[in-house]
Chain A
Amino acid sequence: MNAKLLVPDSGTVDVHELCAKLRAASGRLEPFHPSILEFCGNFSRALFHDPMARRYAELQALAFWMRKSEMQRMKTQFDSLGSEQTLLMPRGVVFHIPPSNVDTIFIYSWILSVLAGNSNIIRFSERAGEAATTICRVLGETLAKHDPALQQTTAIVRYGRDRAISSAISASCDVRVIWGGDATVNDIRSLPLPPHATELTFADRYSLVVLRASAYLALDEKGRRDLAARFYNDTFWFDQMACSSPRTAIWVGSAEDCGEASRQFYPELAREVKTRGHELPTGPRINKLTFAYRAILDQPAIEQQELYGPEITTLKLADLASVRREHCGGGLLFQAWTTTLNDLSTIIERRDQTITHFGFASSELRELARTLGGKGGDRFVPIGQALTFNRFWDGYDLLREFTRTVYIQV
């Protein structure tokens, strides 16, 4: 059974042989080994300098995240996870299945798995885009200059929708990581894993933003401009299609304050959108218009549609309880008012991932998270950080997920 190997060399490989090789080499470098840190630093630098990679903002963000100082900080965090009686060791072979249409998000979880000392096999779909191809090339070039152990523990393979290959790799891995829509996750999940193996799934999620109206109204002009700029990054960078981009805005306060803050906020955001020169392509623009009209007919709670410049559409809901989660992306925000932050606990559900916030104290956010208990809401981050990846994602601590905790008692 053959697949196309892209990294470390290009050519055809037998999948079973490849898995065996990766297993034999796994754990050769222990977590955060100096060779691994050096590789990450150089990979980051290569992405910063590669002319092709420089064309992708998301690759530059990745390079920034992977820079030496950040990796050092992560090592310090990792060191504090162990104890007198526990040791964190690699899990073995990790099989990564990235989404075929978002090119780079999976790299973060893959790099964390590399840091944890695992062998990694990554499946590229045949539809992988240019950013992914660029990553592949730069990675290959960087690996060639490093510790051979890193080459022996890394493989990127490309194949079509061949369940037999996915099946074979699944059967011989220790961790499987699936990125993609609900349907993809369910599809891959039906392929058996070894009994001891674990699985991380990053499926369809929904995200919201919550703002304290009085805090917004108290901002000065510069404060409002800065907030709009950060809100823009969260919302428009991937045309609102990233799972962590907010799609519903909830204003907290008196109805009067909420209405006033909303009326003042969106024109500010529209100015930011215009300054950045953001324009939605025509197809998605018509799709957004049609989506809004359909929503108005399907959701009786929608009271008013407002347009702020060509890129922002808001749909005001009669109450918080009417929040729904169908969405078209491309700059459409549902809006609702409520009196206290904790009211969110009545609507947050398992699908809800990121809640970006403005104007709340840590204690209030912790209180909300506690009230939510097992219901949902995995990340509470300030406006501007919606897309910033870290080791805590979708409720996982990835550094722990990619390691085994070994217990040693003397």
Chain B
Amino acid sequence: MSFDALAAMPQYSLSQPEKERLLLEDFNELTEHHRAHCREYDRLLTVTGANHAAKSLDEIPYLPVGIFKSHRLASVPQSSIFKTMTSSGTTGQQVSQIFVDKETAMRQTHALGRILGHVLGANRLPMIMVETSTLITDRKRFNARAAGVLGLANFGRNHFYALDEEMKLDEAGLREFLEKHGSQPFLMFGFTYMVWQYLYERIQRLGLDLSNGILLHSGGWKKLEELAVNNAEFKGRLEAACGLRRIYNFYGMVEQVGSVFLEGEDGFLYPPNFGDIIVRDPVTLEPAPNGKPGIIQVLSILPRSYPGHSILTEDLGVIHGVDDSTCGRHGKRFSVLGRVPKAELRGCSDVHATQAGRT
């Protein structure tokens, strides 16, 4: 099914069997497209023996996400690359490099609009960014954080960046924004831990009214887990502090920008029309039965300029059910459980090398 046809359909309207039937051909076509245009991708599939068309979504070959950190994989000539996106990483860590041309960029923007439109409606709303405005500088090279902020900024208007360079809340500015826009629906976006640390913790005793807000947040729960804050607590405390009720987490990554997995009103995540999720058994890497945690594989029909339509992540997740949502969404209902622990194998060299390197 064409991208435009999938985009035209209401999101979450496809039952799982229907989606698998509609998307299978698209994914097989994408695999062939990348084989024809990305030499490295073709070699990987040839050497690993992935030589037949997939007969179901779980047969679509996947790349481990780490390969984008070590190798430059593109299915378009260098001259067509419109922007290079990189994952966020601490200093010294290798980051993913994702090469996007105009077509893929357009698909990303359009898809994201359709997905978020499902909860935001058609109109652009006034928007609070739980971010500092100094984040976005070099428009040619986006890291994940800047890309997220810029991507989301498209969905709002009258943007107010609520944090200064030192991550301090601009309280006066926030009050001013609420005076102007607070009585009508408005949009908010921030990374999960930043919303908690730089917004919630600062406003919890200010008595502000954010009840018309719709908060989108992403980025993972690792830092909040350390504070023993889970999704239910996150939502409950925010509502108690400022009346904010419409809160949507989403799961996405720089390797598949656009086809994000947005939270439903029931608190679970759902794949959009443009892709799917498969949870794989951590030992056999076969699809895991529902209810059993495993490694998340993400599928998206958006990437045409780089071979990232099927990626094995380093995240753990669990599928709770399929086509059984209580909030009107079809497809797989899942949660993300966090990163795969980086347990090192004990050996004669590796650990030592890093240690000695630090002295």
Binding site for B on A (CB under 8 A): 99-103, 105, 129, 161, 163, 179-184, 186-187, 202, 204-205, 238-243, 279-287, 289-290, 293-294, 296-297, 302-306, 310, 329-330
Name the B residues within 8 Å of A281 (CB-CB): 341, 343
Name the B residues within 8 Å of A161 (CB-CB): 355, 359
Tell me the complex Cα distance, A339–B243, Å: 77
Interface residues of B in 103-148 (CB under 8 A from A): none
Question: B91 an interface residue at 8 Å Cβ cutoff?
Answer: no
> In the complex, which residue of chain B has the Cβ closest to the Cβ of A294?
B70
Q: State whether A283 touches B283 (Cβ < 8 A).
A: no
12 A-B contact pairs sorted by A residue (CB < 8 Å)? A183-B352, A187-B359, A204-B349, A241-B346, A243-B348, A281-B341, A282-B295, A283-B340, A283-B343, A284-B343, A289-B312, A303-B47
Name the A residues within 8 Å of B70 (CB-CB): 294
A325 to chain B, nearest CB (A): 11
Tell me the complex Cα distance, A205–B344, Å: 18
Pick the contact of A102: B64, B312, B348 (CB < 8 A). B348
Q: Counting chain A CB atoms within 10 Å of each CB, which of B47, B314, B357, B359 scores highest?
A: B47
Question: B63 an interface residue at 8 Å Cβ cutoff?
Answer: yes
Query: A181-B348, A241-B345, A305-B49 given as contacts; is B340 within 8 A of A187 (CB)?
Result: no
Pick the contact of A238: B48, B295, B347 (CB < 8 A). B347
> In the complex, which residue of chain A has the Cβ closest to the Cβ of B71?
A297
Pick the contact of A290: B67, B345, B352 (CB < 8 A). B67
Q: State whether A306 touches B49 (Cβ < 8 A).
A: yes
Q: State whether A286 touches B314 (Cβ < 8 A).
A: yes
Binding site for A on B (CB under 8 A): 40, 43-44, 47-49, 63-64, 66-67, 70-71, 282-285, 295, 312, 314, 316, 340-353, 355-357, 359
Name the A residues within 8 Å of B359 (CB-CB): 161, 163, 187
Q: State whether A283 touches B342 (Cβ < 8 A).
A: yes
A345 to chain B, nearest CB (A): 25
Pick the contact of A241: B40, B47, B48, B348 (CB < 8 A). B348
Tell me the complex Cα distance, A286–B339, Å: 12
Tell me the complex Cα distance, A353–B312, Å: 36
Name the A residues within 8 Å of B346 (CB-CB): 101-103, 129, 238-239, 241
Q: State whether A282 touches B47 (Cβ < 8 A).
A: no
Tell me the complex Cα distance, A243–B349, Å: 9
> In the complex, which residue of chain A has the Cβ closest to the Cβ of B281?
A310
Pick the contact of B43: A183, A186, A238, A296 (CB < 8 A). A296
Q: State whether A296 touches B351 (Cβ < 8 A).
A: no
Tell me the complex Cα distance, A187–B345, Å: 23
Given contacts A184-B356, A293-B44, 19 further A-B contacts (CB under 8 A): A101-B352, A181-B352, A183-B353, A205-B348, A241-B346, A242-B348, A243-B348, A284-B344, A284-B345, A285-B282, A285-B283, A290-B66, A293-B63, A293-B64, A294-B67, A296-B47, A297-B43, A310-B283, A330-B345
> In the complex, which residue of chain A has the Cβ closest to the Cβ of B66?
A290
Pick the contact of A204: B63, B282, B348 (CB < 8 A). B348
Q: State whether A100 touches B43 (Cβ < 8 A).
A: no
Q: State whether B349 touches A181 (Cβ < 8 A).
A: yes
Q: State whether B353 touches A297 (Cβ < 8 A).
A: no
Tell me the complex Cα distance, A286–B65, Å: 9
Name the B residues within 8 Å of A297 (CB-CB): 40, 43-44, 67, 71
Tell me the complex Cα distance, A330–B346, Å: 10
Tell me the complex Cα distance, A100–B351, Å: 8
B99 to chain A, nearest CB (A): 16
How many A-B residue contacts, CB cutoff 8 Å?
Answer: 132
Name the A residues within 8 Å of B40 (CB-CB): 297
Name the B residues within 8 Å of A280 (CB-CB): 283
Name the B residues within 8 Å of A182 (CB-CB): 349, 353
Name the A residues within 8 Å of B356 (CB-CB): 180-181, 183-184, 186-187
Q: State whether B345 touches A310 (Cβ < 8 A).
A: no
Query: A282-B340, A286-B340 given as contacts; is B347 within 8 A of A101 (CB)?
Result: yes
Tell me the complex Cα distance, A238–B346, Å: 7
Q: State whether A286 touches B64 (Cβ < 8 A).
A: yes
B351 to chain A, nearest CB (A): 4
A229 to chain B, nearest CB (A): 21
> In the complex, which residue of chain A has the Cβ closest to the Cβ of B293?
A282
Tell me the complex Cα distance, A304–B44, Å: 10
A56 to chain B, nearest CB (A): 12
Tell me the complex Cα distance, A205–B340, Å: 29
Query: A282-B282, A282-B340 given as contacts; is B48 within 8 A of A305 (CB)?
Result: yes
Query: A184-B356, A205-B348 given as contacts; is B341 within 8 A of A282 (CB)?
Result: yes
Q: State whether A293 touches B67 (Cβ < 8 A).
A: yes
Tell me the complex Cα distance, A306–B49, Å: 8
A303 to chain B, nearest CB (A): 7
Query: A296-B48, A302-B47, A305-B49 given as contacts; is B352 within 8 A of A99 (CB)?
Result: yes
Name the A residues within 8 Å of B341 (CB-CB): 281-283
Q: Counting chain A CB atoms within 10 Å of each CB, which of B67, B295, B356 scores highest?
A: B356
A185 to chain B, nearest CB (A): 9
Tell me the complex Cα distance, A392–B48, Å: 40
> In the complex, which residue of chain B has the Cβ closest to the Cβ of A329?
B345
> In the complex, which residue of chain A has the Cβ closest to the Cβ of B313?
A286
Name the B residues within 8 Å of A105 (CB-CB): 348
Name the B residues within 8 Å of A310 (CB-CB): 283-285
A72 to chain B, nearest CB (A): 31
Tell me the complex Cα distance, A110–B340, Å: 38
Q: State whether A329 touches B295 (Cβ < 8 A).
A: no
B323 to chain A, nearest CB (A): 28
Tell me the complex Cα distance, A279–B284, Å: 10
Name the A residues within 8 Å of B284 (CB-CB): 310
Tell me the complex Cα distance, A204–B285, Å: 32
Query: A286-B340, A296-B48 given as contacts; is B345 within 8 A of A239 (CB)?
Result: yes
Name the A residues within 8 Å of B352 (CB-CB): 99-101, 180-181, 183-184
Name the B residues within 8 Å of A285 (CB-CB): 282-283, 285
Tell me the complex Cα distance, A129–B351, Å: 13
Name the A residues within 8 Å of B282 (CB-CB): 282, 285
Query: A102-B346, A282-B340, A289-B312 given as contacts; is B351 within 8 A of A304 (CB)?
Result: no
Name the A residues within 8 Å of B342 (CB-CB): 283
Tell me the complex Cα distance, A163–B358, Å: 13
Tell me the complex Cα distance, A182–B354, Å: 11
Q: State whether A305 touches B47 (Cβ < 8 A).
A: yes
